[in-house]
Amino acid sequence: MVKKIILTVLTAIVSFQVYSQKEFDPMESSSFFDRVYVGGNFSLEFGDFTFVDVSPLAGYMITNMFSAGVGVTYRYISFRDFDFDTSIYGGRVFARHNLGQQFFLYTEYENLRNELFFADGSVREWVPGFFVGGGLFQSIGGGRMGFVATALYNFAYDQIRSPYNSPWVFRVGFTL
Give per-residue pLDDT as tens, 82-117. Answer: 888 899 999 999 999 999 889 999 999 999 999 988
Distance CA 103, CA 97 (A): 9
In this predicted model, which residue has the larger pLDDT, 145 or 58? 58
Phi (first) and psi of residue 157, to 5 degrees: -60, 130
Grouping H, G, I as helix, E, B as strand and the rest as coil, residue 12 is helix
Average pLDDT of the chain is 83
User: Is 131 domain-assigned?
Assistant: yes
Is residue 79 situated within a structural domain?
no
pLDDT of residue 68: 98
Does a structural domain hold residue 63? yes
Q: Is the pTM of this model over 0.95?
A: no
Determine, yes or no, domain membership for 51: no
- CB within 8 Å of 12: residues ≥ 6 apart: none
Indicate the number of domains in the chain: 1
Q: What phi and psi, each to the nearest 5 degrees, are found at residue 162? A: -70, 140
DSSP 82: G
Q: Is residue 140 one of the residues assigned to a domain? A: yes
Percentage of residues in the chain having pLDDT higher than 70? 83
120 in any annotated domain = yes
Tell me if 44 is assigned to some domain: no
Q: Residue 57's Cα: distance from chain center in Å?
A: 8
Domain assignment of residue 31, given as a range: 2-35+59-70+91-175
91 neighbors 100 (Cβ within 8 angstroms): no
